[in-house]
A and B are shown apart, each in its own frame.
Chain A
Amino acid sequence: KAGVTQTPRYLIKTRGQQVTLSCSPISGHRSVSWYQQTPGQGLQFLFEYFSETQRNKGNFPGRFSGRQFSNSRSEMNVSTLELGDSALYLCASSLAGQAFNYGYTFGSGTRLTVV
């Protein structure tokens, strides 16, 4: 079955612009979580969506937002880009049932460069 698909793979934006990244989870997975990876901070949790609702959010400014659609696809948006937003953005999908922890399947990531 198809894996987690992230688009685009690479993106170059200018400071002050905004960007939208997309993540299509594995069919049947209802949870999508987003992560930022930088050389200095490593991997950090951004937010998690389940059934179109944001259930949890990491310690990031309000410029970072997201949403999930009824087909479980998710988008994240970063407004007013800063140089420090340059990073690899990863999403992961999970079954995320109510009573159990399920494993995560990661996408290949979107590498965002802000210039």
Chain B
Amino acid sequence: KNEVEQSPQNLTAQEGEFITINCSYSVGISALHWLQQHPGGGIVSLFMLSSGKKKHGRLIATINIQEKHSSLHITASHPRDSAVYICAGSMYSGGGADGLTFGKGTHLIIQP
């Protein structure tokens, strides 16, 4: 069983819709990352969260440590938001960051 689970796997929506992508994790993590990957492979780090909520433009990320759950929201979605969104957990073991454990990704398509 993957330690980081994302849902949905695929999501198609109309421009302007409010988008929610969910991420649950089964192990203790020190931070939860949301990443965006466009066709061609480049990955952009959107958020790193250890508690609470962060907002950047139309993107909002939240995390509930007790429930081991995080959500990524996109308001007023636009076709340029079409990408694969990946959540990942990082562990900290005293010696520093231990790399990332990834979810399978959510393939988002926003239709005009």
Interface residues of A (CB under 8 A from B): 31, 33, 35, 37, 42-45, 47-48, 50, 55-56, 58, 88, 90, 92, 94, 96-98, 101-106, 108-109, 111
Q: Mark B35-70, 1 if CB is under 8 A from A, else 0.
A: 100000111110010100000000000000000000
How many residues of B are counted as interface, with CB atoms below 8 angstroms from the partner's CB atoms? Answer: 26
Question: Among A47, A108, A111, which residue has its beta carbon within 8 angstroms of that of B99?
Answer: A47
Q: Main SS of chain B's interface residues? A: strand
Q: Is the pair A101, B90 in contact by a Cβ cutoff of 8 Å?
A: yes
- Which residues of chain A are near B90, meaning CB under 8 Å? 101
How many cross-chain pairs have Cβ atoms below 8 Å apart between A and B? 74
Does B43 contact A106, Cβ atoms closer than 8 Å? Answer: yes
A104 touches B33 (CB 8 A): yes
Cα-based distance from A28 to B69 in the complex (angstroms):
33
Cα distance A102–B92 in the bound complex, in angstroms: 11
Closest to B105 in A: A42
Flag if A101 contacts B92 (CB, 8 Å).
Answer: yes
A55 neighbours in B (Cβ, 8 Å): 95-96, 98
- Is there an interface contact between A106 and B97, defined as CB atoms closer than 8 Å? no
Cross-interface CB contact of A104 among B92, B96, B100, cutoff 8 Å: B100
Residues A35 and B97 in contact, CB atoms below 8 Å apart: no
**A106 touching B102 in the complex, CB below 8 Å, given contacts A96-B97, A101-B31, A101-B90:** no
Contact of A106 with B45 in the complex, beta carbons under 8 Å? yes
